[in-house]
Structure 1
Amino acid sequence: MSAKAVAPWVRTRLRTAPGAAGALAVLVLLTAYLAGALPRGIDGYEDRGLRHAVASAAPENSVLRLAGPTPVNSDPKDPDPGAALRPRAMERAYREQLAAIPAPLRADTGQSAYGVRTAEKVVAGSPLDSWLPRPEGLPPRFLIDSRSSLTDHARLVSGRLPTMKADSTSHTAEAVVTATTARALRVSPGSVVHVPGAGGEPLAIRITGTVRPLLPEASYWATQPVLRDPQLVPVSPKPDDPHYWYAGLLLGADSAPALLEAGGRPELYADIAPATPAMNARQLDGLATSVASLEGGPALAELRRLVGPGTTVSTELDAVLAGYTSVRESITPVVAVATFGTATVAGVVLLMAGGLAAARRTSELTLLRARGGSLPGIGARLAAETAVVAVPAAALGLGLAVLTVRGGRLGPALLASAAVAAVSCLALPVRAMAAHRTVRTATDRDDLVRVRPSRRRTVAELTLLVLAAGAVYALRRRSTAAGSDSLVSSAPVLIGVIAALVLVRLYPLPLRWAARPAARLRGTVGFLSLARAGRAPGGGVLPLLALLTALTTAAFGGSVLAGVADARERAALYTTGADARIDSVMPLPAGLADRVARVGGVARVTAARIEYGVELPSGDKAAVIGADPAAYARLTADTGLGTIRADDLSARHGRALAAIASPKVAADLGRGAREIRVAGYRLTVQVVAVRERTPAVPRSDFLLVDAAGLGAREPTTLLVAGTDLDAKALRGTVTPARATAQAPTVQIRAETRRRLIDSPLQSGAEGVYGAAVAAGGGYAALALLLALLRGAPERSALLARLRTMGLTRRQGRRLLILEALPQAVLAALGGALTGWAATELLAPGVDLAGLALAASPSTATAASALRTDPMSLLVPAVCVVALAAGVAATQAWWTSRRGSVTELRAGDTR
């Protein structure tokens, strides 16, 4: 090669083939965008899932509850013993407590609160308070709280806010109550409540006004719900014990020192709500460490130094974080399967693009080598001309990924896009250097039928086989619920790779077998197509690898998505037992079933009487269900939950009622007639059948009998069947205009199913999974196109020559289609078979509960096992064959339009 070129190599090559350069730029741009968007998308849904998990947890579980002794003023210059409880001193101490919270945990100061409150319920039993309501003869009890920032979280409804500056010796204070408390306890501005004092003299609390919470469900109020809404509390857990009112009194900030001499063991407290917007999934370990430090580590020691030696910190935030971690660890391996498959197919397509470019320039590179060009020199020039196109395209793809996918880290996206750029730049030079490592003046035939695998290739294939077997064994043994690594997540990809290598070895055999009888046929199209298919380049393993990997990933992914949908449907059914259910603790109103039956979309209504907590002979509890045998049998047939026959339920066995029971109840009652006590009366039953579940109580042990044999027959539950239920009309029919605590509840199956995907962690992971599978399918189609384009010039020239010898357009189209079909059919059948095998092999180790459900104990048992989805096997396979035939037919049509003269040029060696 000359040391001085007439024109720069790179510019000359780009100007010579601008179409190829533009196609490469588009391919690299798209691949770099997907590679950069994937890790950012995963980071995004994991971050949103963590914030949702903390924000959706009950505030009393997520807040940090700090409690300590009330401070004593030790300053001899200040005679006020309650000086430490004055607003400024309390705020200063609170700021010090917030500073002691270890990073990365941060406080949401807008929903946090601090102050002084009574740790025990204070009884208002003074004769002066006889006007307070006593529903069952017991005086009310109060939580007295001097809470910070009350004016920021409540709106004054009547009266005024507390303004009196009380101290520990005044025995008087001012407070406000919420409007609901005022209605329940019949207090109003001007009312005075007396509570016991520590020294014997009662503390008189004057009610100055009523307030309404601005955000009653937020942490400020929900941490102590009694401050917002009064509660009827039983004296003990026994069901027949009397109840008393328990309500909250909100003292003014200047009245806090008055609690020093009050009863109820006053304590200093801080309810610190975590700042969820500042959380991200990479901080998960740090957040757990911070919570542990606050509960019993260095952070707690620091708080005790600031507040007092008896300070405690309690929270359920660590359980919330552990629940999120468990769900994420079960989701990540499933998503990684699709990620590995798509990455493999994309990498193969980039290599195929380099191989296509190297094949198109075989003559040019052979001539350069024959004239003394060195391999490093040729490789460097090819890498430079590719880098000029690939590197800017990859940078642009990364930039688009950063702009369109917000919230993720830049580092992983940068590494992924850089890997795409590196593969794109090296594919052409490495392929060219491997093909032209020796100087040749002519290229040898490299037919797929004639090629013989080398020993190195055999060793590599056996190594991959061992890796695939190890990955499948590890996944089946450990399950995705136990976490994953790269080898386990790549199991479906490795299965596809092994299948591709096996099919490439077996592919020549059917071609040889089919070519012999085809040669004896009268027509020439069949024999020519088979001969042409056998003369395909021997490097056809890459397109076959891309197709099989994509088809395996698509089949596996489709099966995963089908299993997820099935698990959600089953979990929703296990929750409601029908398309909708209406429950009540009391008997339902007469005629309600008829009114419900007239609601739009309702097809059938089944009434049932359910008695919960019935004691069995063993001491265990179960639900006893009474229903009409015929109606309930139809319901079980519709839902598929424990299908029964009406005759079995309506049969009598002497004095005993026929009963259908869950396995545990059946084992407890035995085979003979047994007597149980149901709602105050005795019932003799005999178990005649056993079912795992039943629609009335699908998640608990049960005993099902004919409602005619029950002493109380009024239904407490309605099970509704129907499609497209009008949920609003159904609730309007069931719920009275003025709802009470004992009003019937309505559950809609469709709404329950939607709630199962409420977590951004699950919906985001499912979206990424589906996008990865779709991208893999797109790359598989592109791989097929690249494989067909590699031989397109030669097929066009062949078709032109045959046209000059009398081949018709129809025969030419048939020839190209039949030539393309063997490899496409092989890939389709192999992909469908490999996808089925991968699903069956890996199903025992794939846990869909985390991806499908909201990870609650009530729905975890409904998780569906991974099963093969026929549509996910057939549709991609059919698309591959249709695409191959369509491309071949298009090429035949285009070649016939161009004419033979254009294709047959003097000196053309195609």
Structure 2
Amino acid sequence: MTIPLGVRAHAGTFALIAVLTAVACLLLAGLPRTMQGSFDQALRRSLAGAPAVRADVAVTGAPVLPPGELRSRELFEDGGRRWRRLLPEALRPLIGPGGHISAKTSRTPVAGASGVRAFANLGWLSDADRRVEWVGGRAPGKPSTMEYAGSTIPVIEVGVVEEAVARMGLRVGRTLMLGESVHTAAKIVGVFKARDPADRAWSHDADVLHVTRIVPLDAPEELHTTTLMSDDGLGALTNRERTLSYRWVLPLDGRAANALGVPGVEAALAEFERQVDVQGTGSITYRVVTGLPELLAAFQTALSAAQTVMYLVLGGLFAVALGVIALGVRLLTDRTEPTLALARARGASLRQVAAAGAALTALAVGPAALLGYALSYLLPGPVPPIVHAGPAAVAVAAVAFAVTRVVLAHRAPLNERRADLVAARPSARRLTVEALVVVLALAGAYLLRARGPSGTAQQDPFLLLIPVALTVAAALITLRCHPYPLRLFVRLAARGRAAVPFLGLARAARERSAGALPVLILLPALSLSVFAAVVHDGIGTTQQVASWQRVGAPIKLTSEGNIPADAVDRVRRAPGVEQVALALTGRVQVKATGEWPYAVAVDLAAWRRVNADAPIALPELSSKSSALLSPALDRRGPFEITWLSPVRLNAQGVIDAVPGFYSSGQFLLVSQEVLPWPAADTLLIKGDITPAELARLVPSATVETQEAALAEIRADPLTGTVRTTMVVVTVALGAYALVAIVLSLVAGAAGRARTVSLLRTLGLSDRQARRLTLLELLPVVLVTAPVGLALGLSLPAALGPGVDMSAFAGGLPVTEHPPGLLTPVALATGLGLCAVLGAYAHTAMSRRRALDAALRVGDA
């Protein structure tokens, strides 16, 4: 057989294989690209959204002896250049230009302060001229000296932030005596404010921009601020009280980050820390301070869960696509079998026959695989190795399957068989292997549930293999067991007078190798598509719950201080507002233990009216003196707290979270009736009113909405990729299941048409012919579809303990997977409809066949 002649003779089958291969290679090469691109986007977004104090890489220095002290800007800048030279190659693209340097003292007390303890630290910022604006007095200048307690001490000119003037009384012209045993004078000459308070760099220097209030358990209240001095002040800045520290901030530029390079960045950070440590001397020590490893570890955990789910469904898509292509290749080899058998009978060697089958298949799948691979480059995203491996694996597997079928079919010349007459009996070895697969799959599923999550950010092969093993086990059980109930129906049909049910069910019940492949394709396609749809719905449902847990109401209005009664009335009377619940938050002191937990006092009845349609349940209090405690405060009897006034409470039970307020640490929930007078700093609102209108009614408040929280959760690139891929894979697998049904129809079309034609000579009508075709096809669908649907619905429960999907659902674990009926009904209906249409189409085609063409010598 010449290859061009074979292509022309079987052009339809040839084109079908090419289309299936091109689509499969496009999906298998394109989806990983878009997935990897979204992984990179998610990493960059997480790094950009993290506070600079966590994401940036900072080198801190602590001078121990005077030789280690840096007294000029030049020395600090030399240190910055040295740290950049030490950056490993993998870390350099992530470090942006600029950065800043600081020198600060810590816990520097103001001598002579009464009542509240005041601390005024001395600070220097290398880029203060760019980041601050002087709104009072002047910028600090050169230091001077003064006599104090019989000794000469330096007087450093400093500026203070506006907030320190209001809260600590640090006004221009005042001179502060700082220190305890060693004194330094700080003369306030100016007041500043931030040019851009939203600048991310201020997270490194929040102590400069704001006054910090500290309430120790057994000491007076403390107020801390950090002043700013000029470059000249560095010459007078010493570390005689061991409170001075230096910091070089190397800003992170997350735009160059990619998910594949995360392990290399983590290793580079460890190497950089080692290099910085060895730079220390006896006069000064250095160390790296950054939260970047924790950020990368958290991202890796979420990425691992996403990759597990993605590779699971993509692996199923790969297997199903290969199975459908194998159906097409089987159709091609069946069509060419007479020609190859004739060539084998005329002396062609087995190698020549196999080469002919391989060449014909390679001509169909090779260019198509290259086309699908090339089309995948139209999709955005980087190119991971799987992009190259997927199309190559499809082409090689298709050619290998064709060669195997040709070799098995033509091992001996004129090796004719009638496999449709008897049921094939599987060997004992094959049955043993299949039983072993089933046992291992069930044991693996049990161990997965017993073990739970792996606890690492690396891919878990165990988690990837178990779903595949369960699917294969279910397919093998279905393949082995489905003929037996059909044979029972055959016996029942044999007792009837109608011949069509008996003939149709008899053909369907025969164990033929041709029927195994459709079952092995349909079941994974159905189960994985249902699994993807169920996980998609479960994530969506949990995202809804997470958004309600985050806000606590449709709209939450929060003020830093108490909201006046007239402002509350304005909100109640505003157009669109239906319900309002008042809540007050704050820190309270437990008298018996001295603990300072957070407390929420809320009108629970009004809160329930606000959340009447919410998917979260609100707690209940048995009486106005009852309190629900967090796990960190559990196990106590009646206790007393101080909050506005002393209140005695009874511990009613434990609550894991107060929706919209607290979910970790020490907190308690009480009724608003325990307050000595009505007070509220939070309004929980139900109604149709815009956040801008509420902000106008209460200018000092911030407004959050449940819809905005849900949109923020869904806007995460990683979450969006998981859900989008689930939808794409569900549609693709459903389409492949339908294609498998069609190919099964086409593969048996010749034999089925001949049978129908023979029966038509005996008086078979068109209606009976359609029923015969349906009875042959529907049992595979009716048996495989329920098993696939049941397996798809049970896979989330089987994998639930091993896959942490909370990263895609707002931090809440995805524990509930409601089995929606839409996807199962749509898939089952589609398969059934495809079978019915195929039966009608096949009958219509058989009607055009001449009856005398169906008879051979010896048949009549």
TM-score normalised according to structure 1 size: 0.80
1:414/1:524 Cα in 2 relative to 1: closer, same or farther (>3 Å)?
same
Q: Alpha-carbon deviations, 1:827-859, whole Å to 9, x = none?
A: 1122123334444444444433234334xxxx5
2:719 equivalent to 1:762: yes
C-alpha distance in structure 2 between counterparts of 1:661 and 1:829, whole Å: 46
C-alpha distance in structure 2 between counterparts of 1:82 and 1:643, whole Å: 58
DSSP 3-state at the match of 2:296: helix
1:842/1:236 Cα in 2 relative to 1: closer, same or farther (>3 Å)?
closer
1:139-538 equivalences in 2 (<5 Å): 141=120, 143-148=122-127, 213=195, 216-227=197-208, 229=209, 231-234=210-213, 237=216, 246=225, 248-249=227-228, 251=230, 268-295=246-273, 297-301=274-278, 303-304=279-280, 309-409=284-384, 411-440=385-414, 442-446=416-420, 450-482=423-455, 484-521=459-496, 523-534=498-509, 537-538=512-513
Q: Is the 8 A contact 1:580 1:719 kept in 2?
A: yes
Q: Is the 8 A contact 1:578 1:719 kept in 2?
A: yes
Q: Is the 8 A contact 1:167 1:257 kept in 2?
A: no
- What residue in structure 1 maps to residue 640 of structure 2? 676
- One-letter amino acid of the structure 1 residue matched with residue 15 of structure 2: G
1:606/1:675 Cα in 2 relative to 1: closer, same or farther (>3 Å)?
same
- What residue in structure 1 maps to residue 150 of structure 2? none
Deviation at 1:419, TM superposition (A): 0.9
Q: Is the 8 A contact 2:34 2:379 kept in 1?
A: no
1:63-78 equivalences in 2 (<5 Å): 63-68=56-61
Deviation at 1:379, TM superposition (A): 1.0
Deviation at 1:791, TM superposition (A): 1.5
1:371/1:107 Cα in 2 relative to 1: closer, same or farther (>3 Å)?
closer
- One-letter amino acid of the structure 2 residue matched with residue 304 of structure 1: G
For 2:832, which of 876, 881, 895 is the aligned residue? 881
- One-letter amino acid of the structure 2 residue matched with residue 884 of structure 1: A
Deviation at 1:272, TM superposition (A): 1.0
Deviation at 1:610, TM superposition (A): 5.3
C-alpha distance in structure 1 between counterparts of 2:276 and 2:553, whole Å: 51
C-alpha distance in structure 2 between counterparts of 1:381 and 1:469, whole Å: 43
Q: Pick which of 164-173 and 755-764 moved more.
A: 164-173
C-alpha distance in structure 1 between counterparts of 2:725 and 2:525, whole Å: 16
- One-letter amino acid of the structure 1 residue matched with residue 230 of structure 2: L
1:594-673 equivalences in 2 (<5 Å): 595-597=570-572, 602-609=577-584, 612-613=587-588, 615=590, 630-632=605-607, 634=609, 638-639=613-614, 641-642=616-617, 649=622, 657=624, 659=626, 661=628, 668=635
1:502-901 equivalences in 2 (<5 Å): 502-521=477-496, 523-534=498-509, 537-584=512-559, 586-592=561-567, 595-597=570-572, 602-609=577-584, 612-613=587-588, 615=590, 630-632=605-607, 634=609, 638-639=613-614, 641-642=616-617, 649=622, 657=624, 659=626, 661=628, 668=635, 674=638, 676-677=640-641, 679-683=643-647, 699=663, 707-708=672-673, 710-721=675-686, 725-729=688-692, 731-732=694-695, 734-736=697-699, 739=700, 743=701, 745-799=702-756, 808-854=765-811, 859=812, 863-865=814-816, 868-893=819-844, 899-901=848-850
Q: Is the 8 A contact 1:51 1:277 kept in 2?
A: yes
Deviation at 1:422, TM superposition (A): 0.5
C-alpha distance in structure 1 between counterparts of 2:28 and 2:528, whole Å: 17
Q: Is the 8 A contact 2:528 2:730 kept in 1?
A: yes
- One-letter amino acid of the structure 2 residue matched with residue 718 of structure 1: L
1:383/1:166 Cα in 2 relative to 1: closer, same or farther (>3 Å)?
farther
TM-score normalised according to structure 2 size: 0.84
- One-letter amino acid of the structure 2 residue matched with residue 16 of structure 1: A
DSSP 3-state at the match of 2:374: helix
Deviation at 1:713, TM superposition (A): 2.9
Q: Which runs of 5+ in 2 are unaligned?
A: 147-152
- One-letter amino acid of the structure 2 residue matched with residue 85 of structure 1: S
DSSP 3-state at the match of 2:588: strand
Q: Is the 8 A contact 2:119 2:222 kept in 1?
A: no
1:174/1:805 Cα in 2 relative to 1: closer, same or farther (>3 Å)?
farther
1:843/1:317 Cα in 2 relative to 1: closer, same or farther (>3 Å)?
closer
C-alpha distance in structure 1 between counterparts of 2:692 and 2:218, whole Å: 35
Identical residues among aligned pairs (%): 25
1:777/1:616 Cα in 2 relative to 1: closer, same or farther (>3 Å)?
farther
Deviation at 1:686, TM superposition (A): 5.9
- What residue in structure 2 maps to residue 653 of structure 1? none
C-alpha distance in structure 2 between counterparts of 1:281 and 1:180, whole Å: 42
Deviation at 1:548, TM superposition (A): 0.7
1:443/1:401 Cα in 2 relative to 1: closer, same or farther (>3 Å)?
same
Deviation at 1:472, TM superposition (A): 1.4
Q: Is the 8 A contact 2:119 2:225 kept in 1?
A: yes
Q: Alpha-carbon deviations, 1:313-335, whole Å to 9, x = none?
A: 22222222222233333443333
DSSP 3-state at the match of 2:745: helix
Q: Is the 8 A contact 1:618 1:668 kept in 2?
A: no
- What residue in structure 2 maps to residue 131 of structure 1? none
C-alpha distance in structure 2 between counterparts of 1:440 and 1:752, whole Å: 71
Deviation at 1:461, TM superposition (A): 1.0
1:603/1:596 Cα in 2 relative to 1: closer, same or farther (>3 Å)?
same
- One-letter amino acid of the structure 2 residue matched with residue 233 of structure 1: T
Q: Which runs of 5+ in 1 are unaligned?
A: 75-80, 127-133, 651-656
> How large is the Cα RMSD of the aligned pairs?
4.7
Q: Is the 8 A contact 1:154 1:212 kept in 2?
A: yes
- One-letter amino acid of the structure 2 residue matched with residue 21 of structure 1: F
Deviation at 1:47, TM superposition (A): 2.9
DSSP 3-state at the match of 2:513: coil
1:587/1:795 Cα in 2 relative to 1: closer, same or farther (>3 Å)?
same
DSSP 3-state at the match of 1:223: helix
Q: Is the 8 A contact 2:104 2:123 kept in 1?
A: yes
1:480/1:885 Cα in 2 relative to 1: closer, same or farther (>3 Å)?
farther
DSSP 3-state at the match of 1:407: coil
C-alpha distance in structure 2 between counterparts of 1:598 and 1:889, whole Å: 67
C-alpha distance in structure 2 between counterparts of 1:766 and 1:621, whole Å: 42
2:82 equivalent to 1:96: yes
1:902/1:479 Cα in 2 relative to 1: closer, same or farther (>3 Å)?
farther
1:643/1:353 Cα in 2 relative to 1: closer, same or farther (>3 Å)?
same
DSSP 3-state at the match of 1:408: coil
Deviation at 1:546, TM superposition (A): 1.0
Deviation at 1:265, TM superposition (A): 6.4
Q: Alpha-carbon deviations, 1:204-235, whole Å to 9, x = none?
A: 7876x978646x544433322345x3x23336
Matched pairs, number: 848
2:22 equivalent to 1:45: no
Deviation at 1:549, TM superposition (A): 0.8
C-alpha distance in structure 1 between counterparts of 2:739 and 2:810, whole Å: 35
C-alpha distance in structure 2 between counterparts of 1:710 and 1:613, whole Å: 12
- One-letter amino acid of the structure 1 residue matched with residue 676 of structure 2: G
- One-letter amino acid of the structure 1 residue matched with residue 126 of structure 2: R
Q: Is the 8 A contact 1:605 1:720 kept in 2?
A: yes
1:103/1:867 Cα in 2 relative to 1: closer, same or farther (>3 Å)?
farther
Deviation at 1:31, TM superposition (A): 1.6
1:649/1:878 Cα in 2 relative to 1: closer, same or farther (>3 Å)?
same
C-alpha distance in structure 2 between counterparts of 1:698 and 1:67, whole Å: 34
C-alpha distance in structure 2 between counterparts of 1:812 and 1:273, whole Å: 76
2:72 equivalent to 1:85: yes
DSSP 3-state at the match of 1:13: helix
C-alpha distance in structure 2 between counterparts of 1:135 and 1:14, whole Å: 98
Deviation at 1:202, TM superposition (A): 5.7
1:633/1:665 Cα in 2 relative to 1: closer, same or farther (>3 Å)?
farther
Q: Pick which of 136-145 and 308-317 moved more.
A: 136-145
